[in-house]
A and B are shown apart, each in its own frame.
Chain A
Amino acid sequence: MKFLHLIWRNLLRRKIRTTFTALSMFVAFVLFGVLMAIRIALTMGVDVAGADRMLVFHKTSIIQPLPVSYAERIRATDGVADVTSATWFGGIYQDPANFFAQLAVDPDGFLRMYPEFAVADDQKKAWFEDRTGALVGRATLNRFNWKVGDRVPLQGTIWRLPGGEPWTFTIRGVYDASIKGADDTQFLFSKAYLAEVARKLFGPGSFGDATVGWYIIRIAEPERAAQIAKTIDTQFENSQAETKTNTEKAFAQSFANQVGDIGAIMTAIAAAVFFTIVLVAGNTMAQSIRERVGELAVLKTLGFTDALVLVLVLAESMMLAVGGGGTGLLAGWLLIWRGDPTGGLLPGFFITPRDLALGVALMLSLGLVAGTMPALQAMRLRIADALRRN
């Protein structure tokens, strides 16, 4: 520790170079943080998918509805602990660009299925009691500056009211995602209301009255997921609506894959540049030590051991890397903490502790790599040679 001052003075010798090297490290690690958040956002909830939840969709495609009558048959399937359903509403709030998911659900069953959606008890009660009430995720509520009690008009695109009238919902509550990354942008309302309107629009037994979008089931033993999926799908084979059952995780993964290479490519090329910046900074760090090899020889003349010289050089390089990179990572974290920069397109925009740890590991190894070569050089240096070089 008594050499800390020496290391510090060494860093200050060329203030401009040290500053800018630290600054480029800083930027590189801000970038690293942002990229990790983008990666998480584009994989959309794969990591937070409940292990004990499965989704049952129409086999042909996700837009095809399933009969309401399936609910009881699925519930009766061995291994299924709970069943609820959701239907995509697809309404537009003022402008199609204001996209957020609206689902018609069974309020009680849905909240039971997603315990990570935290709602205050009085709001929950108010929502259950209002047929045209809505429960809105915190992110969407904030995005449009809505308040509980506001009336929100949504233009139906699938279920259009006569004359193009908008549907009007009263916001009865707001939910928070108690798990980081869970989707807090959804707009939920009662499927009984949807069914009632659908019956008026298209008659009894119609789309939206006798159908739901998909079923969500909870299974008691997650390790039996594959077998339960098979049992359910076999039941409905060769019926009017064949099903495809999958774990929520597998569904989230395939959805992320649909967004596709885009995220992977963006992270890959930006990672390449992260390393370019880091290499440039590392090179500068190495260069500034190479320039001082003569001085290091003087230190040795004064009686510093080889090992000590090695440690001193490494410590200097580490200090620069951790100083620049660490503040960068912190700044990146603060930047991301403010949430999605695109206004609602990337709901799960956050950085995981694992990625933070990865960042710290990266900057430590950078300090190590940038310092090792010149440090070894300095360590092996023979005093006479080095002094002669000047």
Chain B
Amino acid sequence: MNWLAQLLAVVALNVRTIRQRLGSSLVAIVGIAGVVVVFVAVLSIGEGFTAALRDAAAPDRVIVMRSGSDTEMTSGLGAASATIVSEAAGVRRAADGPLASPELFVIVDVPKRATGTDANVPLRGVTPRAFDVKDEVRIVDGRRFAAGTSEIIVGRAAHGQFAGLEVGSQVKWGQNRWTVVGIFEANGTVAESEIWCDARVLQPAYRRGNSFQSVYVRLESPAAFDRFKDALTTDPRLNVTVKRETEYYAEQSRVLRRLITQLGYMIAALMGIGAVFGAINTMYSAVAARTREIATLRALGFGRFAVLSSVMTESLLLSLMGGVAGGLLAWIVFDGYQTSTMNWQSFSQVAFAFAVTPALLVQGVAYAVMMGLIGGVFPALRAARLPIVTALREL
């Protein structure tokens, strides 16, 4: 038990005297906090983007596109195919028909508020059924578009990111003049980046004849997927690919997520190395400043292990403070920050919010502690090895 008592005594002494070395301790904390801020902030971009897509997916919702298409953008389905899909086995039915929504997906140029330059904003042509199939969509301002008219409703995030989409304002795309009549929400998901209009009005505007690009379908249950998929893929009249919405959106977020996590980890690793060097310096000077004190302790009978542990504890404590401070700062500044970027797969804008998740915070703090461990170990070894007699004579 003796070594434990020693350890506690030395650690307590160390912690109490941190204040006297405030300057260099603060530098170490700030350095590590900075690294953690960046680490968490960069990765929260990827988290937010993924969340906007992932949370848009309902387990019992399925997207049907032309076979071989990986996005709605390059897909195309005739009206006849769309009807066959709607009537297939496994589709949930309401009193007035199946919950299936054939849709058109095009992009239009709308100036970005922040820069004034044009951005590719998704314009989705839907049928009235869409509001049942995508029941998370609710109008929060104004009203739904009226069937057969050039009226549009705008997702809340699109309204926030792009200019000229206020309720009552008019926009001209091609030969059509559209009137904004409502703003909608969809639980913060990717649908909020979109503009919706009547598919029947969009078809001639984009010369799509009587065709669609995708059909969104609500299944009787998530388990009905295989039955539904088999029914469609074995139907000789159809040439389609069937994907669960969860799967479809996971693919959509893959490229950007990869870009962000790769760059994020690369930057964080480099910065981490820099911060470790900073921590080593701090701990070495802490040891140097207390050379005599450490020697005195050793002369009094405190063991090497107690001295070593005390330096390590101090280093860990500093890095923990840095990690927590950095995590908090990242959370306060970046969590919920609204932005938009290009979704490379569909070539269109996705508006989303940075998401500083608890998992990211834990990762950030763990990373900080790791930096503290590495930064403390060499100075701690040095402190433990100090020859007592010469050290007592120092200064």
Residues of A participating in the B interface, judged by any CB pair closer than 8 Å:
16-17, 20-21, 23-24, 27-28, 30-31, 34-35, 38, 59-64, 90, 92, 96-97, 99, 155-158, 160, 164, 240, 242, 244, 250, 253-254, 257-262, 265-266, 269-270, 272-273, 276-277, 279-281, 283-284, 287, 341-342, 345-346
Contact = CB atoms under 8 A, between A and B. Distances in A.
B68 A17 contact: no
Nearest to B382: A16
Given A63-B107, A254-B118, A277-B271, A341 B262 contact: yes
Contacts of B206: 64
A342 B107 CA distance: 27
Contacts of A160: 66, 68
B118 A63 contact: no
Interface in B346-371: 347, 349
Given A90-B74, A269-B37, A273-B34, A62 B120 contact: yes
B30 interface: yes
- Which secondary structure characterizes the binding site on chain A? helix
Given A31-B274, A60-B173, A244-B109, 8 more contacts: A20-B277, A31-B270, A31-B271, A60-B109, A63-B107, A97-B255, A277-B274, A283-B27
Contact of B45 (A30, A265, A276): A265
Contacts of A90: 74
Contacts of B38: 269-270, 272-273
- Interface pairs A-B: 10 shortest CB-CB: A27-B274, A254-B117, A276-B34, A157-B74, A24-B277, A60-B174, A273-B34, A280-B278, A257-B115, A277-B274
B68 A262 contact: no
- Which secondary structure characterizes the binding site on chain B? helix
A61 B339 contact: no
29 contacts: A17-B285, A24-B274, A27-B273, A31-B274, A34-B270, A59-B109, A60-B108, A61-B173, A62-B120, A62-B347, A96-B345, A99-B344, A157-B71, A157-B74, A160-B66, A160-B68, A250-B117, A257-B112, A258-B117, A258-B120, A260-B340, A262-B45, A269-B42, A272-B37, A272-B38, A277-B34, A283-B27, A284-B278, A345-B255
Contacts of A254: 115, 117-119
A212 B384 CA distance: 75
Given A34-B270, A96-B251, A260-B339, A277 B275 contact: yes
A346 B173 CA distance: 32
Contacts of A283: 23-24, 27
A342 B262 contact: yes
A245 B45 CA distance: 33
B288 to A, nearest CB: 8
A259 B341 contact: yes
A17 B266 CA distance: 26
A20 to B, nearest CB: 5
B254 interface: yes
A250 B42 CA distance: 28
Q: In which size bucket is the chain B interface?
A: 35 or more
Contacts of A30: 270
B109 A62 contact: yes
Given A276-B30, A287-B285, A63 B106 contact: yes
Given A242-B174, A257-B115, A266-B263, A164 B68 contact: yes
Contacts of A28: 274
Interface string B241-281: 00000000001001100111011001100110111011011
Contacts of B271: 27, 31, 270, 273, 277
A280 B31 contact: yes
A54 B258 CA distance: 33
Contacts of A21: 277, 281
B149 interface: no
Contacts of B174: 59-60, 64, 242
Contacts of A346: 259
B187 interface: no
Nearest to B35: A273
A155 B68 CA distance: 8
A189 B274 CA distance: 47
A135 B36 CA distance: 45
Contacts of B30: 276, 279-280
A346 B262 CA distance: 12
B389 interface: no
Contacts of A280: 27-28, 30-31, 278, 281
